[in-house]
Structure 1
Amino acid sequence: MASSSIVLQLPVIVNGSYSLPKARNSHLTISTSFSFRNKWSQIKCQSTSTEEPKTKRNVLDNASNILTNLLSGGNLGSMPIAEGAVSDLFSRPLFFALYDWFIEHGSVYKLAFGPKAFVVVSDPIVARYILRENAFSYDKGVLADILEPIMGKGLIPADLDTWKLRRRVISPAFHTLFLKAMVKVFTDCSERTISKFEKRFETNESGTIELDLEAEFSSLALDIIGLSVFNYDFGSVTKESPVIKAVYGTLFEAEHRSTFYIPYWKLPLARWIVPRQRKFQYDLKVINDCLDGLIRNAKETRQETDVEKLQQRDYSNLKDASLLRFLVDMRGADVDDRQNPSKMRKAQEEIDSVLGQGRTTYECIKELVYIRLIVVEALRLYPQPPLLIRRSLKSDVLPGGYKGDKEGYKVPAGTDIFVSVYNLHRSPYYWDRPNEFEPERFLVSKTSEVEGWAGFDPDRSPGAMYPNEIIADFAFLPFGGGPRKCVGDQFALMESTVALAMLLQKFDVELKGSPESVELVTGATIHTKNGLWCKLRKRPTSP
């Protein structure tokens, strides 16, 4: 998984993408954004206006566009082109630029970028086609290139055949009994974080403490991942370990590679000559050595059985209830070692009613309706990741999307595609008041006025605890959609719900500065440039 921030903004919870690739790689993606004041949802989002942006081209832009058109531009026919793109990419986060070009050029357009042309998709009809209706004609493309050194052939970057095998192994692990047991892990780790905050008040006479909640909740998420996935306590809430430093190092390198113009790390000898690449190799070794030991220990105590029996196992009384334990014990499984004040008050009223001063349980999560809506609305405004990356395996014709070419757009084999989740989630064509923080929006049906889009219907996915891509007909994709949707979505959402509920159970939270002072940056995920500094005050003990 990658980086998460509860935008309140509180930070970090898990974007549920797990893999035991070469066993040597755990892909961590911590991500979730929560916001309680409508104005907070506009942090550094000035570029999300509906006014047509003015494009200025310089020498770099012209050179890039000429090179793109010579090498690949002609293959994409009459598709609208975002020209002058390159220089803008270096001046602000990518998702802001992609949004402006979406408003200017439409739901499907070509992004000229040096020797490559990327197709940017900002339409649920087209996204549904790529992710579900014709999913096996696309792989992870650039994303796989970036993550393969970190994750091997884990679920996220895997080719189709490898993915099918690993998905069959991973999917049964996230069943209800396992998730119920994981709520205890979420609660225990969250209590550790809350206790750390409370200790700060013991030496503070003002009644207010200031914390970087992005950093604090990142540490919480890593502890949860360690215990729930590997039965390993990183202890990152209270200390910094070499493994944690290595994890952050690999994540930063992945983000660096996702946005850097030239893949210099592929050059001969770069891994030994370039300092940051030497550090990357060192970080990988630290992580791999740790994971190898954990997997070796799990195998030594293996109790092999069928998937059906594993799903009926009493995980609440199992000493090691980790995902790793489930995978190792699965008979026939591939476990190769390589492998807003008012909104805040409303939330707290619900927490007090459901939890009181008690602990969070699986059954409590079902009753925390408003808290769950806060989590998904935060993910709508600040999706993690803001882009889904695909590459066409064969020639295809994409739907034109809203206001696009009715004949669609031809894409040749090898075309790299960005499905802009950020654009989808803030599209004025599919969402009312798209830049406002309104958790209640997910309770209301929305009739479609767009041909080919089914609209928004909360009843379309009966039994779902959280809104999903089915309810929104692919206008809402916090965990992707189709067969390669993130398998850990419920794990991530529940973790976020528990952490948020326990924070607000004990504290009032207020952003330290103005919303405009929180600058967003992005690589693989959206996070803050200088931290998410908030003021915490203890709540009066409820009677």
Structure 2
Amino acid sequence: MVAVALLQLSTAGNGGLCGTRLTGMGNSRGGASHGVPRGLRRQSMTRCQSTTKEAKTNRNLLDNASNLLTNLLSGSALGSMPTAEGAVTDLFGRPLFFSLYDWFIEHGSVYRLAFGPKSFVVVSDPIVARYILRENAFSYDKGVLADILEPIMGKGLIPADLDTWKQRRRVIAPGFHSLFLEAMVKVFTNCSERTISKIESLLDNDASKGEEIELDLEAEFSSLALDIIGLGVFNYDFGSVTKESPVIKAVYGTLFEAEHRSTFYIPYWNLPLARWIVPRQRKFYGDLKVINDCLDELIRNARETREETDVEKLQQRDYSSLKDASLLRFLVDMRGADVDDRQLRDDLMTMLIAGHETTAAVLTWAVFLLAQNPSKMRKAQLEVDSILGQGKATYESIKKLEYMRLIVVESLRLYPQPPLLIRRSLKSDKLPGGYNGDGNGYEIPAGTDLFISVYNLHRSPYFWDRPNEFEPERFLVQKDSDTEGWAGFDPERSPGALYPNEIISDFAFLPFGGGPRKCVGDQFALMESTVALALLLQKFDVELRGSPDAVELVTGATIHTKNGLWCKLRRRA
């Protein structure tokens, strides 16, 4: 299944130049350097060129065969659209989204990527992204992404067919209302304080290391995010920050399998008997059973204590005093939203996996970036000191933590989660030409697979100043547009928004997608990230254990590290 292979290519591999390292944010600009410091870039390119020369002879035959297939089989269905011909060797060594960026600079904001018999349309333009995601959203579905995720998430919001999605979106979206989010701040705070207490205990108990400990913060953020999702979404305390249980092991097993399926060439798990014969698949279905049994019990308990009422009254509840303030409680109590337990389970599983990954990743990269910018970390700490003092985070205090919120979204700009959005056209359509594209647009046939490269959009030199630099303050500045069809960047365009979004940026910034199928939990994820980061910086000074260049990047569903984000932590004076 070529589409699955290309999904793997788009989201897998080791990062950095030549697929080895993810480097720190330097002062270089534009092009394909991805913010790599100049000296390191020269050394890395030398190593890359040497490696490439050694392998070139062995790979030429394979590449030539691939390109021959491309020329013979991919055809001209996409007309005048610029074409990037991918060779088999492009599939190895680094995530394809880096190559997608290079081809974007070479071929423009909309181009055809041809691999053998299959063509994909790669979109790196806000005008075209807006058209696909909002203006003509129901002419596209999730395509290959739904094929991969359906066995795990069933008919949850991400892989659901259009009819199921419309029905469930109407029910789930109201659950993330303002009073619920306000109540969730207490959950975010309590779970974050578990992590803080764990770090303080390690500092107290490890006298051999004096005033400093080394810790993999990516692992800690992963446990923290799991605890928050468990309590906030279905009222289950995983307690994963301090303990391990069969349910926690099963959740991580399922997360790993979801990533494995998104990063493997051939969907062997669909083969007859694979779920019984292949050990990995036997374990996966065993993990699913453990989680499903847990969710079934939680759903059963929620139904037994159901207090049915209208959605308006549910949104006016006093969630601060409600014993079970979870989203599951909201869904079960909503009058007229009756659904079988299987659908509820699919909804919860989707939010568990999608919500966990995003939060852990944004916290990881926020710390990675701040550790390389001590002045920005200090500025963030001073803001936290001024607003929180020694008190707890509240919904009102989050509103005042402006710089902290900007750090979170700037981290998502540089390391979007996920780096690609995948769509498939349900009928023939004409895409806009986009920036410097064909003014007549591009005709695409039904069944065309598209990659909206969020990574390219977020680092586009055509729509962002200094796109590879870590500058949280950029979101405060209005940017006028001289590009026809793009409205520029205006912080006032979305009044009352706590965080910059696709409306403010006119689809140049898509941390959670856009249009009707935008992620329903975006504010939940952003607020929990803000609270967790603020409380960490309130208590500790953080620096990387080694050079930023030692942090290796791998990607599956999200961009994360290969061996963890190892940091040195000290109590603040």
Scaled by the length of structure 1, what TM-score is found?
0.89
Does residue 320 in structure 1 map to residue 353 in structure 2?
Answer: no
Q: Distance in 1 between matches of 2:85 and 2:407?
A: 37
Does residue 412 in structure 1 map to residue 427 in structure 2?
Answer: no
Q: Choose the corresponding residue for 2:270, options 255, 266, 285.
A: 266
**Contact 1:385–1:525 (CA<8 Å) still a contact in 2?**
yes
For the structure 1 residues 247 and 434, does the alpha-carbon distance in structure 2 shift closer, same or farther, using more than 3 Å as the test? same
Q: Choose the corresponding residue for 2:184, options 182, 186, 196.
A: 182
Does residue 387 in structure 1 map to residue 391 in structure 2?
Answer: no
For the structure 1 residues 103 and 401, does the alpha-carbon distance in structure 2 shift closer, same or farther, using more than 3 Å as the test? same
Q: Distance in 2 between matches of 1:513 and 1:67?
A: 45
**1:507 matched to which residue of 2?**
540
* Residue identity in the other structure for 2:540: F
Task: Please report how far the alpha carbon of residue 179 of structure 1 lies from its aligned counterpart in structure 2 after TM superposition.
Answer: 0.4
**Contact 1:48–1:100 (CA<8 Å) still a contact in 2?**
no
Task: Please report how far the alpha carbon of residue 271 of structure 1 lies from its aligned counterpart in structure 2 after TM superposition.
Answer: 2.1
Q: Distance in 2 between matches of 1:154 and 1:41?
A: 42
Spell out the pairing of 1:114-133 with structure 2 (5 A cutoff).
114-133=116-135
Scaled by the length of structure 2, what TM-score is found?
0.84
Q: Distance in 1 between matches of 2:248 and 2:114?
A: 37
Spell out the pairing of 1:33-432 with structure 2 (5 A cutoff).
38-39=25-26, 46=33, 58-205=60-207, 206-339=210-343, 340-432=373-465
**1:519 matched to which residue of 2?**
552
Q: Distance in 1 between matches of 2:112 and 2:250?
A: 37
**Contact 1:305–1:330 (CA<8 Å) still a contact in 2?**
yes
Task: Please report how far the alpha carbon of residue 256 of structure 1 lies from its aligned counterpart in structure 2 after TM superposition.
Answer: 2.2
Cα deviation 1:308-355 (Å, max 9, x = unaligned): 100000000000000000000001114321111100110011000000
Q: Distance in 2 between matches of 1:375 and 1:424?
A: 17
Task: Please report how far the alpha carbon of residue 248 of structure 1 lies from its aligned counterpart in structure 2 after TM superposition.
Answer: 2.0
Q: Distance in 2 between matches of 1:368 and 1:470?
A: 21
**Contact 2:179–2:316 (CA<8 Å) still a contact in 1?**
yes
**Contact 1:41–1:381 (CA<8 Å) still a contact in 2?**
no
Q: Distance in 2 between matches of 1:508 and 1:382?
A: 23
Q: Distance in 1 between matches of 2:156 and 2:536?
A: 33
For the structure 1 residues 41 and 204, does the alpha-carbon distance in structure 2 shift closer, same or farther, using more than 3 Å as the test? farther
Task: Please report how far the alpha carbon of residue 40 of structure 1 lies from its aligned counterpart in structure 2 after TM superposition.
Answer: 11
**Contact 1:388–1:421 (CA<8 Å) still a contact in 2?**
yes
* Residue identity in the other structure for 1:432: D
Task: Please report how far the alpha carbon of residue 203 of structure 1 lies from its aligned counterpart in structure 2 after TM superposition.
Answer: 2.1
**Contact 2:27–2:35 (CA<8 Å) still a contact in 1?**
no
Task: Please report how far the alpha carbon of residue 373 of structure 1 lies from its aligned counterpart in structure 2 after TM superposition.
Answer: 0.4
For the structure 1 residues 284 and 70, does the alpha-carbon distance in structure 2 shift closer, same or farther, using more than 3 Å as the test? farther
Which is further off, 59-68 or 205-214?
A: 59-68
Q: Distance in 1 between matches of 2:520 and 2:115?
A: 32
For the structure 1 residues 294 and 71, does the alpha-carbon distance in structure 2 shift closer, same or farther, using more than 3 Å as the test? farther
**Contact 1:468–1:477 (CA<8 Å) still a contact in 2?**
yes
Say how many residue pairs are matched: 503
Q: Distance in 2 between matches of 1:396 and 1:247?
A: 40
Which is further off, 68-77 or 232-241?
A: 68-77
* Residue identity in the other structure for 1:208: E
* Residue identity in the other structure for 2:169: R
Q: Distance in 2 between matches of 1:46 and 1:280?
A: 39
* Residue identity in the other structure for 2:487: A
Task: Please report how far the alpha carbon of residue 452 of structure 1 lies from its aligned counterpart in structure 2 after TM superposition.
Answer: 1.1
Task: Please report how far the alpha carbon of residue 69 of structure 1 lies from its aligned counterpart in structure 2 after TM superposition.
Answer: 4.7
Task: Please report how far the alpha carbon of residue 38 of structure 1 lies from its aligned counterpart in structure 2 after TM superposition.
Answer: 5.0
Task: Please report how far the alpha carbon of residue 77 of structure 1 lies from its aligned counterpart in structure 2 after TM superposition.
Answer: 2.0
**Contact 2:123–2:450 (CA<8 Å) still a contact in 1?**
yes
Task: Please report how far the alpha carbon of residue 358 of structure 1 lies from its aligned counterpart in structure 2 after TM superposition.
Answer: 0.6
For the structure 1 residues 259 and 63, does the alpha-carbon distance in structure 2 shift closer, same or farther, using more than 3 Å as the test? farther
Q: Distance in 2 between matches of 1:225 and 1:41?
A: 38
Cα deviation 1:345-379 (Å, max 9, x = unaligned): 10011000000011000000000000000000000
**Contact 1:169–1:334 (CA<8 Å) still a contact in 2?**
no
**Contact 2:74–2:116 (CA<8 Å) still a contact in 1?**
no
For the structure 1 residues 48 and 390, does the alpha-carbon distance in structure 2 shift closer, same or farther, using more than 3 Å as the test? farther
- Percentage of matched positions with identical amino acids: 84
**Contact 2:275–2:285 (CA<8 Å) still a contact in 1?**
yes
**1:457 matched to which residue of 2?**
490
**1:435 matched to which residue of 2?**
468
Partner SS state of residue 77, structure 2:
helix
**Contact 2:70–2:85 (CA<8 Å) still a contact in 1?**
no
Which protein is richer in helix relative to its size?
2
Partner SS state of residue 433, structure 1:
coil
Partner SS state of residue 352, structure 1:
helix
For the structure 1 residues 247 and 138, does the alpha-carbon distance in structure 2 shift closer, same or farther, using more than 3 Å as the test? same
**Contact 2:409–2:499 (CA<8 Å) still a contact in 1?**
yes
Which is further off, 399-408 or 178-187?
A: 399-408
Partner SS state of residue 496, structure 2:
coil
Partner SS state of residue 120, structure 1:
strand
**Contact 2:73–2:116 (CA<8 Å) still a contact in 1?**
no
C-alpha RMSD of matched pairs (Å): 2.3
Q: Choose the corresponding residue for 2:526, options 489, 493, 503.
A: 493
For the structure 1 residues 79 and 184, does the alpha-carbon distance in structure 2 shift closer, same or farther, using more than 3 Å as the test? same
Task: Please report how far the alpha carbon of residue 405 of structure 1 lies from its aligned counterpart in structure 2 after TM superposition.
Answer: 1.6
**1:27 matched to which residue of 2?**
none
Cα deviation 1:62-118 (Å, max 9, x = unaligned): 333443454444322232222234322221122212111211221112222344221
Task: Please report how far the alpha carbon of residue 302 of structure 1 lies from its aligned counterpart in structure 2 after TM superposition.
Answer: 0.7
**1:444 matched to which residue of 2?**
477
For the structure 1 residues 69 and 319, does the alpha-carbon distance in structure 2 shift closer, same or farther, using more than 3 Å as the test? farther
Q: Distance in 2 between matches of 1:118 and 1:65?
A: 15
Task: Please report how far the alpha carbon of residue 403 of structure 1 lies from its aligned counterpart in structure 2 after TM superposition.
Answer: 1.6
Q: Choose the corresponding residue for 2:499, options 441, 466, 478.
A: 466
For the structure 1 residues 358 and 152, does the alpha-carbon distance in structure 2 shift closer, same or farther, using more than 3 Å as the test? same
Which is further off, 517-526 or 85-94?
A: 85-94
Task: Please report how far the alpha carbon of residue 465 of structure 1 lies from its aligned counterpart in structure 2 after TM superposition.
Answer: 0.6
Does residue 532 in structure 1 map to residue 532 in structure 2?
Answer: no
Spell out the pairing of 1:11-22 with structure 2 (5 A cutoff).
none
For the structure 1 residues 157 and 81, does the alpha-carbon distance in structure 2 shift closer, same or farther, using more than 3 Å as the test? same
Task: Please report how far the alpha carbon of residue 457 of structure 1 lies from its aligned counterpart in structure 2 after TM superposition.
Answer: 0.5
**Contact 2:181–2:524 (CA<8 Å) still a contact in 1?**
yes
Partner SS state of residue 211, structure 1:
strand
**2:356 matched to which residue of 1?**
none
Cα deviation 1:191-249 (Å, max 9, x = unaligned): 00100000011123321111111110010000000000010001110112222222222
